[in-house]
Amino acid sequence: MSDTGSLNLLRFSDPKIKTLHLTWFAFFLTFAVWFAHAPLLSSIQASLSLTDAQIRALLILNVAITIPARIVVGMLVDKYGPRIIYSGLLIISAFLCIGFAFANTYTSLAIFRFLLGFVGAGFVIGIRLVSEWFPAHQVGTAEGIYGGWGNFGSAAAAMLLPTIALMYGGDDGWRYAIASVGVVCGLYGLVFYKYARNTPKGSIYFKPKKTGAMEVTSWGDLWLLIAMNIPMYLALGILAWRLSPAGVNLFDESWMYIFLGVLVVLFIFQTQQTWRINAEHLREGVPEMQKYSFKQVGILNVAYFATFGSELAVVSMLPLFFLQTFEGLTPVTAGLLASGFAFMNLVSRPMGGWFSDKFGRRRSMLVLIAGLAVGYFLMGLIDSYWWIPLAVLVTMACSFFVQAGEGAVFSMIPLIKRSMTGQIAGMAGAYGNVGAVVYLTVLSFVSYSTFFFVIAASALVGLVAILFLDNPKGHITEVLPDGTVHTIDVGHK
């Protein structure tokens, strides 16, 4: 077996390397589109005379639909393949981005921002695509590069878009800057469709037998799947509450109860779908070679809740934390100091995947989540008496463990059940957003230090869960509709 660190990223003649570059850049653009508004919020607020509450509502709307979107896109990518779904997402997102850029009323601005939350599901598509092209002993490193470099799209937007808006000039500079990202996204959707392929030549793209809900292979797993769906609906309920008069007052209380009622109906419908999809084949009995453990998925969901969930929450509050903790900082300086947290993605997430390939999936995850817990505990101790460079160093060290932990989680997801990698990635990704909603809700009630301590404590829960994780070993089995059996090596680590 070749060394896990032998990926030559400059070898564009290698189809799998070309596919990796095509895919991470698609993810990069989705994040650039998703967060294009963030560095230009002051210009948007001034241009449309928005209140602070309306701006806060836009930030909540930006992540509201991403939780169900990741589930839906996971199903679509497993059924139709990454090439068509990623291309379609990029092109549709381009039109939504341009629509947001030229919105003239708060209502249209809010609708486009809500719909643009769907672009946050692009991450799931590439996870499945990269897993098709790389063997088990390299998939962690490849997924880490895909996730880390793609995630940098939000940081790139923050760094470049204010300058691009100034280059356009005038009161509408922000509009042309955001629209430019949309145009690039749409054009790249066409490029991706032309050059990307779902699998290497001669390989089979395995699809789930049924669509509409995730398939499980035991009755216990069915009950666990239904239970794991509940936190996603609770998070959406929290978002509805935060948009009500109790939060940013986007709509009145009666609308909040309508949304909560809709969520209850959707949960009942999804539970019925889950039961319908699974009950028949569970009654018949699932052959031993086709079984997989949904417990693995549940544990990885919890790990991603703590890793990506905390990253999303912390990135959104860190500039303000620095500004309010240390006297004499300007908003620009505070933003630069805080940017180190997101900037680490370029190296830390790939490193997490590489650690996982090299030293074992479960062992790497234990070390990285433990490091995350220690990192957030130390961040909780930061106050105005700290030396600012030391505070930044602690922040960047913590972010390394957070993002490396994300890389470790997604190094393992493609090794559970190949035909459902999109759905498994979608559920774990959704749990990351659930984590962000929960952590930011906690922040609205407590001090900054308590907020960091809560994340550290929740990471310890994830650490206990990971103790029950099984290392992938040997092979996983996929059976085609004609009964042909295929085995896929998932490594020995």
pLDDT single digits (tens) 270-326: 999 999 999 988 998 888 888 889 999 999 999 999 999 999 888 878 888 888 899
- For the segment 51-60, the average pLDDT, to the nearest whole number, is 83
Q: What percent of the chain has pLDDT over 90?
A: 59
Q: What is the pLDDT of residue 202?
A: 85
Q: What is the pLDDT of residue 483?
A: 66
Q: What percent of the chain has pLDDT over 70?
A: 97
- For the segment 92-98, the average pLDDT, to the nearest whole number, is 97
User: What is the C-alpha to C-alpha distance for residues 367 and 171, in angstroms, rounded to an integer?
Assistant: 50
Does pLDDT of 6 surpass 70? Answer: no
Confidence of residue 1 (pLDDT cuts 50, 70, 90): very low
Does pLDDT of 127 surpass 90? Answer: yes
Quick: pLDDT tens for 217-243.
Answer: 999 999 999 999 999 999 999 988 988
Does pLDDT of 493 surpass 50? Answer: no
